[in-house]
Structure 1
Amino acid sequence: MKITSSFSLYGFMIVLLTGCGGANSNSTPTTPTTPTTPTTPTTPTTPTEPKHKVSFFIVAHPDDIELFMGKEAYYQIKDNLSDKKIFIVLTAGDADMKNNKYGRKTTWWEAREQAHTLAIKFWDNYKNSDVSEEVLINNRYVQKISLGSNITLYNLRLLDKDSTTSLDDLTHAGNIPLTDLKYKQTYTLDDIKTSLKEIVQNENNATIPVSFYLTDANRDRNPGDHKDHYATTVIVENIYPEIKAECKNLSKYLSYSTKNLPINLNEEDKNRSFELWSLMNNKLYSLGWKKNDDENHMVLVAKEYISFKMGRDNCL
């Protein structure tokens, strides 16, 4: 059995060698194949950076964003980390008290402004410290507050409810001047428009999508609103066609008229809205002012009604 096994293995090796051309001297040698040229390695594709956008929330008073479009602002801050969120408030919200402190730690408008800043920080989960500076916009000083690199607040601090001139008056007679409370700088209607366009241009390079969020100036859809709410939206609507962007859209929200409508936020958003309003009120109280927890304000909390949209929905 051992001999047979060895012979079989030997025969198998002969056949194998013959088949390969190595054991047959009469075989024609095979032409060696030309070595394949190594392929040039492909350059790794650089991931395309996602296209970002800029959102402008433009309102009349320091608590309008929180009351009327707070859920939208919160989720943009929470979910769209790489997008820019710009919050612009035109008036100081001083209610014709101007710079009077009435024996308190600070003025009413400064207290409201600080509460507004605190609200944005709350939505940002206190991740960023607020850095305040006075910047020149249209040759006028404007307060700019930055929370990180993608959240910015601009406060023009124009007179609110002035006994002789208001933002609303300017929209009907543009040559009437209005001043800001901090530097007493004069603004005409055209000056306000130019200032807004400059801020928008500074924050948007005209090649990325832009969204605007405003209160609704249509008196049929949004009856009984504050005159300066109407005026602010009218001003933005006037400059909207001049805004250059890859694409743009505009959303409007009901404001005072929501007092007659039911709470429409889900439980989590509703609780957050009440928590935010309490936080802002506590800030006012800590600075010596009354809380805005009266019925006229509380009936507006935890509601958000979009009433109008214009432009492309999906700019991204």
Structure 2
Amino acid sequence: MKKAIQICGMVVLSVSLFACSRDTSSTAPTTKAGDQAAVNQVQPNIQSQATSKYGRIDPEVPRFNSLKGQGIVPTQKVYFNVSAHADDWELFFSPEVYREVTNDSTKNVFIYTTAGDGGAGRGPVRSNPYYKAREDGANTAVRFIANVTATDDAQPVVSNVSIAGHTMRKITYRNTVSYFLRLPDGAPDGLGFNGQSLQLLATKKIPKITALDKSTSYVSWADLTNTVNAIVKKETGNLGTASFNLMDSDPVVKVDHSDHIYTTMLMNTVREKLPCVDAQYFLTYWKNYTPEYPINMQSEDLINHAAVVGVMQAAEADVGYPGSWDEFHKSFIGKDYSRTVPATSTSPCI
């Protein structure tokens, strides 16, 4: 009998608890203190898992009481993720954005400067323009991350707001806020598809730039800069400090997409007068071409990165557009290359 118990203890360590409890004697099996410790070590949170009325445990059911609802903890940090296109932060800013959004003491603001539609306009699915499909992808990715540590029911709040005299789409969900300026895609060379682009506005080649949905026009680079600055001030609120996540574009080498370059230039102009703001610059297509860089993420970050990009692509497909789950876009998965420029002041400055 003693030998049988010892064998049983070894099997417990392989989590075969039920099989091990079977005994040929009429006496109910007992568990030694050491054996119970082994069970607890294998399944330390077994009691925190959801159970049914039958008392059995389903490992596929979330541990509800171990999750936290977001929006309860006061905001201690505001992150601004500013990108030119709806898929930029998903491809290039991971896994930092994942960690930031799943921290319920943060507010995470996403600003998309252009429609990122590659000049597609309203086609080919007339009922849902391509730029809206790309927004659907970005919003789905945001919700996917924001839901990881939340248990309460939440619905996105969609509105058209006026910032510095300009109308734009705003979506609020849990601890995230998204702004879509919907400016025309400038094309990689910055010449645009309809004679408008961030680059042409910044270099004063055009007198104004108009949002793709005709909601507003910006009459100068300064007008656009002041508007984004107003968003930063509004969302920072009384906290007075923030962090920027930006694309590390090089306006001299100009290997990157023009929209990437000029979106970062826009935010650098905003940041010049904000010494309390630090910035993290993420490599995109810059210089040596990121797809050629080796994967440098650990397994957990790599899984999360692929998941975020995957749900984004699936959302685009749901509304009739093929996603970009191709060799080129997949070549960015698992790669996290960035540099940080620290703030020069710790005092609130926004």
Q: TM-score, normalised by structure 1?
A: 0.76
Tell me how far apart the structure 1 counterparts of residues 225 and 249 of structure 2 sit (CA, whole Å). Answer: 17
- Tell me the secondary structure at the aligned position of residue 70 of structure 1: coil
**Among 153, 156, 163, which residue is 2:178 paired with?**
153
Tell me how far apart the structure 1 counterparts of residues 228 and 171 of structure 2 sit (CA, whole Å). Answer: 16
AA of the residue aligned to 2:284: S
- Is the contact made by 1:86 and 1:152 (CA closer than 8 Å) also made in structure 2? yes
- Is the contact made by 1:254 and 1:306 (CA closer than 8 Å) also made in structure 2? yes
Structure 2 equivalent of residue 186 of structure 1? 217
AA of the residue aligned to 1:197: N
**Among 116, 126, 146, which residue is 2:138 paired with?**
116
Mapping of residues 269-308 of structure 1, within 5 Å: 269-308=301-340
Mapping of residues 163-178 of structure 1, within 5 Å: 163=193, 164-173=195-204, 176-178=207-209
Distance 1:313 1:263, change over 3 A: farther
- 1:148-177 C-alpha deviation (Å, 9 max, x unpaired): 2x3111111111133212112222227531
Structure 2 equivalent of residue 86 of structure 1? 109
**Among 142, 148, 163, which residue is 1:137 paired with?**
163
Unaligned runs of 5+ in 1: 1-48
- Tell me the secondary structure at the aligned position of residue 242 of structure 1: coil
1:290 Cα deviation (Å)? 1.2
Q: Does 1:64 align with 2:88?
A: yes
Structure 1 equivalent of residue 281 of structure 2? 252
Tell me how far apart the structure 1 counterparts of residues 141 and 330 of structure 2 sit (CA, whole Å). Answer: 16
CA RMSD of aligned residues (A): 2.4
1:307 Cα deviation (Å)? 3.0
- Indicate the percent of aligned positions where both proteins have the same amino acid: 29
- Tell me the secondary structure at the aligned position of residue 82 of structure 2: strand
AA of the residue aligned to 1:139: G
Structure 1 equivalent of residue 39 of structure 2? none
1:102 Cα deviation (Å)? 2.0
Aligned residues: 262
1:206 Cα deviation (Å)? 5.8
Distance 1:108 1:200, change over 3 A: same
Distance 1:53 1:174, change over 3 A: farther
- 1:83-141 C-alpha deviation (Å, 9 max, x unpaired): 2111111001111112x232454111100000100000011126432111000012111
- 1:265-311 C-alpha deviation (Å, 9 max, x unpaired): 11111112112222111111121111201212111122111134232
- Tell me the secondary structure at the aligned position of residue 143 of structure 2: helix
- Tell me the secondary structure at the aligned position of residue 182 of structure 1: coil
Unaligned runs of 5+ in 2: 1-72, 187-191
Tell me how far apart the structure 1 counterparts of residues 255 and 235 of structure 2 sit (CA, whole Å). Answer: 33
- Is the contact made by 2:168 and 2:215 (CA closer than 8 Å) also made in structure 1? no
Tell me how far apart the structure 2 counterparts of residues 156 and 137 of structure 1 sit (CA, whole Å). Answer: 11
- Tell me the secondary structure at the aligned position of residue 167 of structure 2: strand
1:236 Cα deviation (Å)? 0.9
AA of the residue aligned to 1:135: V
Structure index of larger Rg: 1
AA of the residue aligned to 2:92: F
**Among 257, 273, 276, which residue is 1:226 paired with?**
257
Distance 1:270 1:207, change over 3 A: closer
Structure 2 equivalent of residue 201 of structure 1? 233
- Is the contact made by 1:104 and 1:287 (CA closer than 8 Å) also made in structure 2? no
Q: TM-score, normalised by structure 2?
A: 0.69
Tell me how far apart the structure 1 counterparts of residues 305 and 165 of structure 2 sit (CA, whole Å). Answer: 37
Structure 2 equivalent of residue 12 of structure 1? none
Q: Does 1:240 align with 2:271?
A: yes
Tell me how far apart the structure 2 counterparts of residues 283 and 160 of structure 1 sit (CA, whole Å). Answer: 21
AA of the residue aligned to 2:240: I
- Is the contact made by 1:197 and 1:243 (CA closer than 8 Å) also made in structure 2? no
AA of the residue aligned to 1:146: T
AA of the residue aligned to 1:75: R
- Is the contact made by 2:169 and 2:180 (CA closer than 8 Å) also made in structure 1? yes
